[in-house]
Chains A and B, each alone.
Chain A
Amino acid sequence: MPVSPRRSVVLGTVALALALGACGGGDDSSDAAGESANTVTVRGCNPQNPFVPANTNEVCGGDILDQVFSFLISYDPDTGDMANEIAADISSDDSQVWTITLEEGWTFHDGSPVTASSFVDAWNWAALGSNATLNSYFFEPIQGYADVQGEFDPESGEYVEGSAAAETMSGLQVVDDLTFTVTLSQPESQFSLRLGYTAFAPLPQAFFDDPEAFGQHPIGTGPFQFESWEPNIDVRLTAYPDYAGDVQPSIDGAIYRIYENDDAAYNDLQADQLDIMPLLPTSALAGNTYQIDLGDRYIRRPTGVTETITFAPVSVDDRFEDPRLRQAISMAIDRQTIVDTIFSGARTPATSWSIPQVVPGAVPDTCGDFCTYNETAAQALYAQTDGIEGPIALSFNGDSDHNGWVTAVCNNITDVLGIECVPSPVVDLATFRDLITNREMGGIFRTGWQMDYPSLENFLVPLYATGASANDGDYHNQAFDDAVNEAATLGGVPGIARYLEAERMLAADMPAIPLWHRVNIAGYSTHVDNVRITVFQTVDLLSVTTTG
């Protein structure tokens, strides 16, 4: 039958429509609630890097890696205190040479045993310049780190083969199958505290054979093994039967459903189609709506995130040189009212730079009166200074929920001290951080810190030591540097006391104003119980139970 042009167009249109409808419809196996009754669904997000510990520095990938891997030590989900996990013993006489012995019986999910070289090889790989990993700075304290960096050709940007003086760090030595030593370039008493961070995970031989395949399907040592990853859909984990830890998970597995939108996840949670949401969206917190929606199925948990305002370095903006001026501004901020009205309890007012609810040894009063709202004291202190030529800009990244509190803080400053303060949004976080890093941002600006591991050192050294990587205000105080360096050699209670002394020095100089510490508000469905959130804002899947 000859087909007329007109008919062929109609047929073609129908065929196109059918094809559109049919393609992609192949895999419908994943139904929402049809997982086994003893499996939980957790809100996940798209990992920003392949699943390699040394390259994972954000929460989406980190959440999953922390379930798939066990580390030398673990942090108590409630107190943040460290306990040995894979390590049987971590000790040092001088805080510089550390001997680490492993417990026997740990295996990777592919059956291979965990040995001293699993750690040493993994750390060497992460530090090696040619691998250019995101987390390489965690290995900087280890002796020989500089030797493995090598060079990049400034012209082509390519790594220069053979430019590194060594392939492995001289500070890492395997003693026997279950023992290795770590030599640091200088003493650090809190070194062992950081060994529970994702970057310090051991890696099996399979990783070195094919790092790319590993990044799609990581093989760890933890309570859950990686089952599958369907990009943009979900990541599935199942309990590892030979898990060598003390506490065995009671659930059979977990599914991290990937959401690009918090509100969508929250609506699923309300409909019981999602079990655990570690961080509720702002819209649910406003007016405590979540308590109406979820009843008592929520948890409030202080976490290791603190928010501050930093003064631009003197080289960029010299108006804030007088510390009394900075203290006056700090005292003009009514933290409690802002926390209550804007954050609906998702923050606690800060009176210290480290977070006492999370960090062992931290105390709440290192900033003391200078971080407490006091209108008269602020005005009196401000009157002693030469004053400031306004207006001052309080900058923040406009792509996040900051406008509310920034305006409130600015109003405080204007009302109490009579300095004109202008909220100044910068288009997005990348641009904002770029301006700060290049020292082009004047005035005062929002800064925040998410701890890598719960230790005082992590809240002080990277932020306020001279020349440190996140010292955005170019703070320099020799006494502070000496104190943290000495604290690093002391260890134990004297070390903590020395760190606290250093933290108190910040009150005198006020390089950054502590505002508040973040409180995590998590929600869960009727399907699960015993939900605990760790200090890292992740779910403690070991304690979760299902209600059947």
Chain B
Amino acid sequence: MGRYVVQRLGQMVPVVIGTTFLIYALVWALPGDPFAAKCGDRPCPQRYIDRMTAEYNLDDPLPLAYLKYMGNLVTGDFGQTFTGASIADELLQRYPTTLQLTALAILVEVVIGIAAGVLAGIRRGGFLDNLVLVSTLVVVSIPVFVTGLLAQIMFGVRLGWFPVTSDGSLFSLVLPAIVLGSLSLAFVARLVRANLVENLRTDYVRTAIAKGLTRQRVIGVHTLRNSLIPVVTFVGADFGGLLGGAVVVEGIFNIPGVGNMIFRGINAHEGGTVTAAVTVLVLVFLLVNLVVDLLYAVLDPRIRHV
């Protein structure tokens, strides 16, 4: 397994280099002069523009500017935003928040999603099954920003059960995490249900029941474990989606996460900020998918990584 992990880590290097270049080039290609709007409806002092242009290599051709940027990055210097703040500090402050939010959302989607899926699957056609089907259908059909605003006004402003916006505590991330995880929760519930129903009809389950195993053991160990493989794939791939989707939720609940940073960076044409933030996103995504692939082997003994 060790060799497999090293091989996968090695594959990440070209991916990361490719991503950084792509992102840097895209921000570079944004039309307009980043300092044209900095001083309201009049041009900024020429001295200021000169200084910033030199500081951020904005006059260099793209490959040279990119190489300079990567040179600094390799030595651990993430550079500064146009406002003079250290990008590394900002990443350190914002990433934990976004990761916390995403981890909470995954927790919500996995725990509630699997529970709902199992409940629906074992009593197929029953009341619970129909309830889960209808409620997930509703959740899937509403975009996240609508759910977010509704939940905020309902549970934050009107009922006062949750803080309206983030105040830095973990508790204030609960409502945003539920909103963020709700869409995937619906998918997870349906995936689990469908797989469970399928697997309950298989021969080995019949054998297990015939052997006299308890219903709990048949469902909990023999059926559920096999039904979880597609769910793990989904959750792994979804992790990236959640990190991206967090941009919207972060905006609604005023959570100082990476989404806001990227959004602001793009608006300000700050190549360094956007590249750094997105690259870390890519890294996190790649690592999570590696973990997912390793988890397959755990869930299904037939899969081996050599």
Contact = CB atoms under 8 A, between A and B. Distances in A.
Interface of A: 5-6, 9-10, 12-13, 16-17, 20-21, 23-25, 27-28, 30-32, 46-50, 57-58, 129, 132-134, 136-137, 149, 152, 156-159, 215, 231-233, 258-261, 263-265, 267-268, 270-271, 273, 399, 427-434, 437, 447-450, 462, 469-470, 472
A20 B83 CA distance: 29
A137 B44 CA distance: 9
Contact of B40 (A57, A159, A259): A57
A215 B85 CA distance: 10
A273 B163 contact: yes
Nearest to B56: A157
Contact of A10 (B90, B251, B252, B298): B298
Interface residues of B, number: 69
B50 interface: yes
A233 B163 CA distance: 15
Nearest to A61: B83
A268 B43 contact: no
A302 B187 CA distance: 51
19 contacts: A9-B297, A24-B95, A24-B96, A24-B97, A30-B168, A46-B83, A50-B84, A134-B39, A134-B48, A152-B47, A158-B54, A263-B149, A264-B164, A264-B253, A265-B165, A267-B156, A270-B164, A428-B267, A431-B32
B62 to A, nearest CB: 17
Interface string B130-153: 000000000000000000010011
B176 to A, nearest CB: 11
B98 to A, nearest CB: 9
Contacts of B298: 6, 9-10
Contact of A16 (B32, B40, B55, B291): B291
A430 B36 contact: yes
B37 A430 contact: yes
Contacts of B37: 428-430, 432-433
A323 to B, nearest CB: 23
A430 B33 contact: yes
A469 B89 CA distance: 36
A28 B38 CA distance: 35
A32 B47 contact: no
A215 B45 CA distance: 20
A232 B256 contact: yes
Given A9-B294, A430-B33, 16 more contacts: A5-B1, A9-B298, A13-B295, A25-B100, A25-B170, A57-B40, A58-B40, A134-B45, A264-B152, A270-B157, A271-B156, A273-B163, A427-B32, A431-B31, A434-B36, A472-B41
B34 interface: yes
Contacts of A271: 156-157, 160, 164
A23 B48 CA distance: 39
A469 B47 contact: no
A103 B74 CA distance: 55
Contact of B103 (A17, A137, A158, A429): A17
B169 interface: yes
Contact of A21 (B47, B100, B169): B100
A123 to B, nearest CB: 15
A129 B156 CA distance: 51
Contacts, number: 188
B165 A273 contact: yes
B68 interface: no
A32 B295 contact: no
When A and B form their complex, which 7 residue pairs have the shortest distance between CB atoms, in order from nearest? A24-B96, A157-B54, A431-B32, A232-B256, A470-B42, A132-B51, A434-B36
B45 A20 contact: no
Contacts of A259: 165, 254
Interface of B: 1, 31-45, 47-48, 50-51, 53-55, 59, 82-85, 89-90, 93-97, 99-100, 102-104, 149, 152-153, 156-157, 160, 163-165, 167-170, 172, 251-254, 256, 260, 263-264, 267, 269, 291, 294-295, 297-298
A472 B41 CA distance: 9
Contact of A157 (B51, B160, B254): B51
A447 B42 CA distance: 10
A260 B264 contact: yes
Contacts of A25: 96, 100, 170
Contacts of B84: 49-50, 215
Given A215-B84, A433-B37, A260 B251 contact: yes
Nearest to A472: B41
Contacts of B260: 232, 260
Contacts of A449: 41
A137 B59 contact: no
Given A9-B298, A27-B168, A132 B90 contact: no
A430 B252 contact: no
A31 B167 contact: yes
Contact of A152 (B43, B51, B170, B295): B51
A133 B84 CA distance: 13
Contact of B34 (A430, A432, A437): A430
Contacts of A5: 1, 297
Contact of A23 (B35, B59, B90, B99): B99
A20 B41 contact: no
B256 A233 contact: yes
A23 B96 contact: yes
B99 A20 contact: yes
A61 B222 CA distance: 61
B163 A159 contact: no
A130 B167 CA distance: 41
B50 to A, nearest CB: 4
Nearest to B171: A28
Contacts of A137: 45
A267 B164 contact: yes
A261 B251 CA distance: 6
A28 B170 CA distance: 8
B304 to A, nearest CB: 10
